[in-house]
Amino acid sequence: MRDPSNTFKTRPLLHGGHLSGNVKVPGDKSISHRALLFGAISEGVTKIDGLLPAEDPLSTANCLRSMGVSISSIEKGQIVEVNGVGLDGFQEPEEILNCGNSGTTMRLMLGLLVGRKGRHFVLTGDESLRNRPMKRVSQPLKLMGGLINGRSNGNLAPLSVTGKSLHGAVIGTPVASAQVKSAIILAALTADGGTSVIEPARSRDHSERMLKAFGANIEVGGEMSRHIKIWPGSKLKGQSIVVPGDISSAAFWLVGGAIIPGSKITIENVGLNPTRTGIIEIMKRMGATFELINQKDIAGEPVGDIVVEHNKQLKPFNIDGEIIPRLVDEIPILTVAACFCDGVSKISGASELRIKETDRLKVITRQLAAMGAKIEEHDDGLTIYGGQKLYGCEVDSETDHRIAMSLAIASIMAESDSTMVRSNAASISYPDFWDELSRLLI
């Protein structure tokens, strides 16, 4: 768990310099959570190579351990072994399951626990997570016969789950959210009868890919692959998983390399699943200078290296519609990129950002505006006026990992030095971020 005394540490951020060299980003956070969860509900051992050793996946691992799943220690560079207990094997935990800062842990866990008949579970998290909406998951799970209670009419943690027998259902989700979709899929694995989930736009598909590899009976089809069908009854078998690098962590180097004069950087082993590569499409529209090399498939996920170089004539961009779920976590760093594009960029249809670890539309606007950026905040997006100079000041991650790393890149481009309050938030998804930044910035 995060050390609160560190969380408030103020870090000096020097302006100037450029990014140079090679960087291997840590394992994909979404895939790391799923590898632990699916390993836990399988029979036999799952070996995970490249698991992200950061606070969020540790929250998932600790919840699973509290329910009798044995998981080897999670350390950088080590293969993690999960001893699966099978689909119905979780013990009733003696303690409250603490999901920390992790929305993925809480939402996917709800899907897993709701059908564990005769057992009772209580889930909570840190202050940010206790204020994030859970009804988007508890509501569809109730349609399947689930019983979930919590503050604010079942919307806010702490939440209690009373395991019930579930029945299959046809569920249209109102938001394109992989967390909601995955929770329903996990509940459907032990429901009585088949379940269909239809999303308004396609969200990341790591659950579908990985569960299929573990032996689940899942079919993806329909227009734009938005319709997922799940049939219960298949036993899941432990697998060997290789976790690719996280494109959401690579995004900071990708944008940094493109906007910081003199930069050239190679980002190795980046996951390039098409449900995650919205940022690559936007970088192309910006006219950024980059190349994808060494592309291959590893354990069911496409990966490659990205070589990016500074380009002083970046074009502004508009983002809206179906691309949003494919770059939802990259919007803070794309906002930084837009500050250095030649013209006005617009982001719309992104109201989901208001319910992430922080209200990211508000927080990125507040922090970049303090540095001198000109950004207008709308209900569902931002208008960013490129070409304004940024000046060093005291910035604040406001406890959000992606805001911390976005501001770190912005501060290099500022005219003077900055400091960052609560910089340790980065360790939620990228524990080595600050060390890597010192290494790459010359």
Interface characters, 161-200, with ligand S3P (x: CB under 6 A)? ----------------xxx--x------------------
Long-range contacts (CB closer than 8 Å, 24 or more residues apart) made by 434-439:
434/11, 434/408, 436/23, 437/408, 439/21
Smallest distance from ligand S3P to CB 327, Å: 10
Residue 59 binds ligand S3P (CB under 6 A): no
Smallest distance from ligand S3P to CB 34, Å: 7
Residue 440 binds ligand S3P (CB under 6 A): no
Give how many residues touch ligand S3P by CB under 6 A: 12
Distance in angstroms (rounded) separating the CA atoms of residues 230 and 211:
10
Distance in angstroms (rounded) separating the CA atoms of residues 211 and 228:
12
> Could you confirm whether 329 is annotated as catalytic?
yes
Quick one: which H or E segment has residue 265?
A: strand 264-271
**What phi and psi values does residue 439 have, to the nearest 5 degrees?**
-70, -40
Residues 259-278 binding ligand S3P (CB under 6 A) are none
Smallest distance from ligand S3P to CB 398, Å: 17
Residue 361 binds ligand S3P (CB under 6 A): no
The radius of gyration computed from the CA coordinates of the chain, to the nearest angstrom, equals 21
| Pick 46 or 182: Cβ nearer ligand S3P | 182
Residue number with the shortest CB distance to ligand S3P?
30
Residue in 281, 352, 380, 417 binding ligand S3P, rule: CB under 6 A: 352
| Pick 43 or 380: Cβ nearer ligand S3P | 380
Residue 266 near residue 250 (C-beta atoms within 8 A): no
The arrangement of strands across the sheet holding 289-298 comes to 20-24, 264-271, 301-309, 289-298
Residue 128 binds ligand S3P (CB under 6 A): no
- Cis bond upstream, residue 158 (ω within 30): yes
Structure tokens at 199: 């999303």
Residue in 104, 239, 345, 427 binding ligand S3P, rule: CB under 6 A: 104
Residue in 328, 333, 410, 421 binding ligand S3P, rule: CB under 6 A: 328
Residues 6+ apart with CB under 8 A from 366: none
Residue in 173, 203, 266, 335 binding ligand S3P, rule: CB under 6 A: 203
Which amino acid, residue 74? I
Q: Which DSSP string corresponds to 76-136?
A: TT--EEEEEE-TT-PPPPSS-EE-TT-HHHHHHHHHHHTT-TT-EEEEE--TTGGGS--HH
Smallest distance from ligand S3P to CB 297, Å: 20
Q: Which of 28, 246, 329, 396 is catalytic?
A: 329
Residue 255 binds ligand S3P (CB under 6 A): no
Which residues participate in catalysis according to the annotation?
329
| Binding region for ligand S3P (CB under 6 A) | 30, 33, 104, 177-179, 182, 203-204, 328-329, 352
